[in-house]
Amino acid sequence: MSLGENPRRHMHRIYTRRGDTGATATRGRERVAKDDPRVASYGTLYELNAHLGLALASLMAATPAAAQPEWALLAAGLEQIQHRLFYVGRDLSRGRGLSGREDPSTLPEHVTRLETLLDMLAAKTPPWKPFTLPGGSVTASHLFVATTVCRRAEREIVTLSRLSSVPEPVLAWVNRLSDLLFVAGRYVNGVLGFQEPQLADPRDGF
């Protein structure tokens, strides 16, 4: 296809031009600014999903030679969490237009499933020494980055909850996910033989 051809002959356009004025639509068909707290919250979840994709790719590449059943369960869990993040974002994007007409996708049982995986990994993780820095292996570092993005998403959802309705299990699910990702990073470091760097004496370094 040359630049002079009409691209609509070959594919559907990815752009609609409807957002050129800085507004977008929620699932309730409510037009809001793109920096609206609701849009910011599910936008951060999309950012988190991208980080989880990177963490999962790194996890698969770093799979240890010795069988680690928890490692495989973590990989499967991260993949399922990527799907769940889509539905959590959908719950947040409902807006006022769908309030009361559609049940949320995120349920208390989804929080429980996160806790089950979290507890399993924590049982296989060395005791945490307070005041460590995020780091160690590349895979764990990806998970620690995802942890910080998840916690930012949680803060944004708290802000949104003060302004508008948020399904009750959503906030608990995102809170528990941040804990899981932190523990997962430490679990990965332990399996790969890494430790998180200890915080230096305040008199040292820069």
Ordered per-residue pLDDT tens for the chain, 206 residues: 444 555 555 556 665 655 454 555 455 556 555 567 787 888 899 999 999 999 999 999 999 998 789 999 999 999 999 999 999 998 888 754 444 456 789 999 999 999 999 999 999 998 888 889 999 999 999 999 999 999 999 999 999 998 888 888 999 999 999 999 999 999 999 999 999 998 888 898 88
- Please report whether residue 201 resides in a domain: no
- Please report whether residue 71 resides in a domain: yes
- Please report whether residue 186 resides in a domain: yes
Q: For residues 159 and 153, what is the distance between their CA atoms, to the nearest angstrom?
A: 10
Which residues on neighbouring strands pair with residue 60, listed in sequence order? Answer: none
pLDDT in tens, 67-126: 789 999 999 999 999 999 999 998 888 754 444 456 789 999 999 999 999 999 999 998
- Please report whether residue 27 resides in a domain: yes
Which residues are CB-neighbours of 126 under 8 A, at least 6 positions away?
186, 190
Q: How many domains does the chain have?
A: 1
Domain of 95 in residue numbering reads as 8-192
Q: Give me the pLDDT at residue 205, please.
A: 83
- Please report whether residue 83 resides in a domain: yes
- Please report whether residue 3 resides in a domain: no
Q: Give me the pLDDT at residue 8, please.
A: 56
Q: For residues 40 and 153, what is the distance between their CA atoms, to the nearest angstrom?
A: 8
Which residues on neighbouring strands pair with residue 31, listed in sequence order? Answer: 25
Q: 69-92 and 168-192 are packed helices; what angle lies between their axes, rounded to 10 degrees? A: 150
Q: Give me the pLDDT at residue 101, please.
A: 52
Q: What is the CATH number of the domain that holds 121?
A: 1.20.1200.10
Helix (H, G, I), strand (E, B) or coil at 80: helix
Q: For residues 165 and 37, what is the distance between their CA atoms, to the nearest angstrom?
A: 12
Does this model's pTM top 0.85? My answer is no
Q: Give me the pLDDT at residue 63, please.
A: 96
